[in-house]
Structure 1
Amino acid sequence: MTSRVILISPAMSAALREARFDDGCPLEDGGAARARSAAGVLPRAARALAAPGARCRQTASALGLDAEDAPELAGLDVGRWRGRTLAEVSAAEPEAVAGWLSDPAAAPHGGESVRGLCERIAAWMAEAARLSGRTVAVVEPDVVRAVTVRALGAPEAAFWRIDVPPLHAVEFSGRAGRWNLTPGRPLDRQHDH
Structure 2
Amino acid sequence: MTSRVTLVSPATSPSLRQARFDDGDSIDDGGTARARSAAGSLPAAARVLLSPSARCRETASALGLDGVAVRELAGLDAGRWRGRTLEEVMATEPEAVGRWLADPDCAPNGGESVRDVCERVGHWLDSARDTDGRTLAVVEPEVVRAAAVHVLGLPASGFWRLDVPPLTATEFSGRAGRWNLRLGQPLAAP
Give a deviation string over 1:80-132, Cα, whole Å, max 9, x none. Answer: 00000000001111100000000000000000000000111111011100101
State how many pairs are aligned.
190
Kindly report the root-mean-square deviation, in angstroms, between the aligned alpha carbons of the 2 structures.
0.8
Task: Give the match for residue 15 of structure 1.
Answer: 15
Task: Give the match for residue 129 of structure 2.
Answer: 129
Aligned to 1:170, the other structure's residue is in SS state strand
Give a deviation string over 1:162-183, Cα, whole Å, max 9, x none. Answer: 0000000000000233110001
The one-letter code matched in structure 2 to 1:119 is E
Task: Give the match for residue 173 of structure 1.
Answer: 173
Separation in 1, partners of 2:83, 2:26 = 13
Task: Give the match for residue 24 of structure 1.
Answer: 24
Give a deviation string over 1:24-61, Cα, whole Å, max 9, x none. Answer: 00000110111011000001111001110100000011
Separation in 2, partners of 1:184, 1:93 = 33
The one-letter code matched in structure 1 to 2:80 is R
- TM-score, length-normalised on structure 2? 0.98
Report deviation, 1:68: 1.2
Aligned to 2:6, the other structure's residue is in SS state strand
Q: Which runs of 5 or more structure 1 residues have no equivalent in the other structure? A: none
- TM-score, length-normalised on structure 1? 0.97
Runs of 4+ in 1 over 4 A off after TM superposition: none
Separation in 2, partners of 1:107, 1:58 = 29
Is the 8 Å Cα contact of residues 129 and 176 (structure 1) preserved in structure 2?
A: no
Task: Give the match for residue 183 of structure 1.
Answer: 183
- Percent of paired sites with the same residue: 66
Task: Give the match for residue 40 of structure 1.
Answer: 40
Aligned to 2:179, the other structure's residue is in SS state strand
